[in-house]
Structure 1
Amino acid sequence: MSIRQAWPEEAPVLAAIVERAYAPWVPVIGRRPMPMEDDYPGRIAAGEAWVLEEAGAPVALVVIEQHPDHLLLDNIAVDPARQGRGEGQMLLDFVEAEAARRGLPEVRLYTNILMERNIALYARRGYAETGREVQKGFSRVFMAKPVSGSAATAPR
């Protein structure tokens, strides 16, 4: 298994993985989560979509956005048939390492307030809650985690 940037022809595959991964959350939050409506061709063109592949086929994905002072983890999705195998953890490791590689001091993310399982998972990974806010009709929990090895966190 390896992680690489997504290819343009994979946009429908990414959208399908996200559709399957987020479908259980629709009844919980009462509407389709934002990742289900994302522009995957645009994300791929911007270099923001990365896939975890096995035997040349994407099985999970992560969407990241670079900002001046952090890397935003916008979306992470693992095909439900593959959940529980550590693939999400592999992608989180990648995102944190990528932030450090880019010299950014932290990874930030947000998730729906009703996605309690995800909030707990991120907290176990060392992400701390930084706030709560309603945006675009979604009640969101914002979290951040410092990364080691970045120029901004390295001792001087």
Structure 2
Amino acid sequence: MMIRRAGPGDVAALRAIAAAAYEKYISRIGRAPAPMTADYARQVSDGQAWAAVQGGQVVGFAILIAQPGYLLLENVAVLPAAQGRGVGARLLALAEEHARGLGLGEVRLYTNEAMTENIAYYTRHGYAETRRHEQDGFRRVFFRKPVP
């Protein structure tokens, strides 16, 4: 697997991956999760999008946004057919590497409270829950992970 910055030609793939990865949560949340309506063209243009490529196909991505003192992992998504193969773990590792490279001391992320699988996944990967509250009309769970 190769991870690279996403380019303009990847925008359609990012949208398709987000739709496939988050579709199962629509009924739990009662509407499309935020990643299904994100502006991937802008995030690619801003240099925030990273693509995981296997066999010439984009199978996952991460949106990384530098903030004062931390890196926000705004979104990480993997095609359902590629899940369970380490793609998500590699994208989490990318976020940590990128934070270190920018001299930032931690990675922060959030997920929807209804996405219980994600909450367990981030916990298994060393992220600690910091709080829960409503943001932008979604019940979100916030996490952080220090990066030495």
TM-score (norm 1): 0.92
**Which string of whole-angstrom CA distances, capped at 9 and with x for unpartnered residues, describes residues 48-71 of structure 1?**
000001233211100111101100
Shift of 1:126: 1.2
- The within-5 A match list for 1:1-156 is 1-148=1-148
- Take 2:81 and 2:116, find their aligned partners in 1: how far apart are those partners? 21
TM-score (norm 2): 0.97
Amino acid in the other structure paired with 2:13:
V
Q: Which has the larger radius of gyration?
A: 1
Shift of 1:27: 0.9
- Take 1:10 and 1:115, find their aligned partners in 2: how far apart are those partners? 26
- Take 2:47 and 2:19, find their aligned partners in 1: how far apart are those partners? 21
Aligned length: 148
**Which string of whole-angstrom CA distances, capped at 9 and with x for unpartnered residues, describes residues 48-103 of structure 1?**
00000123321110011110110000001100011111111111111111111111
Unaligned ranges ≥5, structure 1: 149-156
- Take 1:2 and 1:91, find their aligned partners in 2: how far apart are those partners? 10
- Take 1:8 and 1:113, find their aligned partners in 2: how far apart are those partners? 32
Amino acid in the other structure paired with 2:54:
E
- Take 2:31 and 2:123, find their aligned partners in 1: how far apart are those partners? 25
- Aligned partner of residue 31 in structure 1, secondary structure: coil
- Take 2:45 and 2:85, find their aligned partners in 1: how far apart are those partners? 29
**Divergent runs of 4+, >2 A:** none
Unaligned ranges ≥5, structure 2: none
